[in-house]
Amino acid sequence: MGPGDLEDILKEFPKAADPYLLAGLDSNEDSGVYQLSPDLALVQTIDFFTPVVDDPYDYGQIAVANSLSDIYAMGARPLIALNVVGFPIASMDRRILAQILKGGWEKAREAEVLIIGGHSVKDPEIKYGLAVTAVAHPGKIVRNNTTNIGDQIILTKPLGTGILTTALKNEMLPQPLLELVTRSMKRLNREAAEVMIRHGVTACTDVTGFGLLGHLLEMVKGRDIAANISADAVPFLPEVLKFIGKGQIPAGLKENVSFLAPSVQFSQNIPEEMRKALCDPQTSGGLLFTVSPENAENSLRDIQMAGDKQATIIGRMTEKKDKPLVIT
C-alpha cells in the first residue's frame, strides 16, 4: 500500500489516550512501543509480503530479515516471533511451504529469535512474514523524528531491490545480480543497529516500501529541518539505473514518486533515472540513521567493518528553507 493511501486511512483514527503508549498509530514509527515498567518497554511489529525471489528458502530468509528490521531500527532487542502465512495448499506442493518456513526459521535462529507459533490461511497467493515481539528500555527507544540540524545521514545498504526484483519477475535479471540482491535482502540489520547505538544515534528508520526519500520525509516531516542528500553519494546495487531505463519499474515506485513530488527539490542536473531510483520501494533495505558530525566517520567505519561494506554518509540535516527534501 502506498504512503498516500495509508496516510489517508490512518488519519481517521483517534489518538490513543494511554500514558504508557510510547509509539502508536499517530507516531509514524517503525514499531509500536508500550511501557511495562520504568525500565522495560514492549516493542512490536508485523510484516509480510508475497515472494520477491523464486527460491522458497531464500524467500523465507528475506521475509524474516525484513520483519526484524523495524525492531532493529527502534534500537530494540527481538525475542520471539509468530509466523504469518498465506499459502495455496490445495494447488501447490506443500514442500515449498516447508522450505519457506525452514528459511525463516534458520534466519530467526541467526538473529537469536524464537519462532513460537503462528497463523496460516489458505490463500491463492503465497505470503509470509513475522509478528515480532521485542524489548527495550523506555528511555533508549530510537525514534525516527529526533534528528538535529547538522547531523550526518548514513545509509547502510545499497538501494535497488525493488527494481532488480521487478527485472527478475520479467526474466531479465542475470544470475550473478540475482545472487547479489538476494544476499543483500537476507542480511540482518542487527550489527548496523548495534553500531549506531554505540555511536550515539540521534534518529533512525529502515528503508522499505516508501523508498529512501519516503522514509527520509518521515524523519523531517512537520519540523524546520531539511534532509540534504548528495545523489552521487547514495549507494546502489549494480545496473539499477540501467534497468530503470529498460522500464523495470515497480508499481510502488510510481506511487512513491507521485506522493513525494510536493516535498522534494531536485537539482536540475539529477537525471530522471536517479530521481526514480531514490523512490524505489525496498525489501529488507538498510538502516537510515543520523549521528552528530563528530561521530559520523567512526560510525561508518564500524558499520563497514561489521559487514555492510557499501554503507555511506549520504548527506546531512540542515535548516529547512523551502522543501523538506533537497537532492543535489
Across 15-19, 179-183, 240-244, least confident range: 15-19
> Residues 179-194: what's their mean pLDDT?
98
284-315 pLDDT tens trace: 999 999 999 999 999 999 999 999 999 999 99
CATH assignment, 152-327: 3.90.650.10
Return the SS3 of 321: coil
CA–CA gap between residue 284 and residue 217 (Å, rounded): 19
Domains 3-140 and 152-327 share a fold: no
Residue whose C-alpha is closest to residue 276's, from 166, 145, 153, 172: 166
Sheet (strand 325-327) strand order: 203-206, 287-291, 152-155, 312-319, 225-229, 325-327, 264-266
Asked whether residue 85 carries a pLDDT value surpassing 90, the answer given is yes
Instruction: Tell me the domain boundaries of the chain.
Output: 3-140, 152-327
User: Could you confirm whether domain 3-140 is CATH 3.30.1330.10?
Assistant: yes
For the chain, the farthest-separated pair of C-alpha atoms sits apart, in whole angstroms, at 58
Return the SS3 of 220: helix
CA–CA gap between residue 61 and residue 52 (Å, rounded): 11
For all residues of the chain together, what is the average pLDDT?
Answer: 95
- pTM score: 0.94
**For residue 14, what are the contacts with CB-CB under 8 A and spacing of at least 6?**
none
54-73 pLDDT tens trace: 999 999 999 999 999 999 99
Task: Report in angstroms the alpha-carbon separations of 254 from 4, 44, 245, 247, 279.
Answer: 12, 30, 14, 12, 8
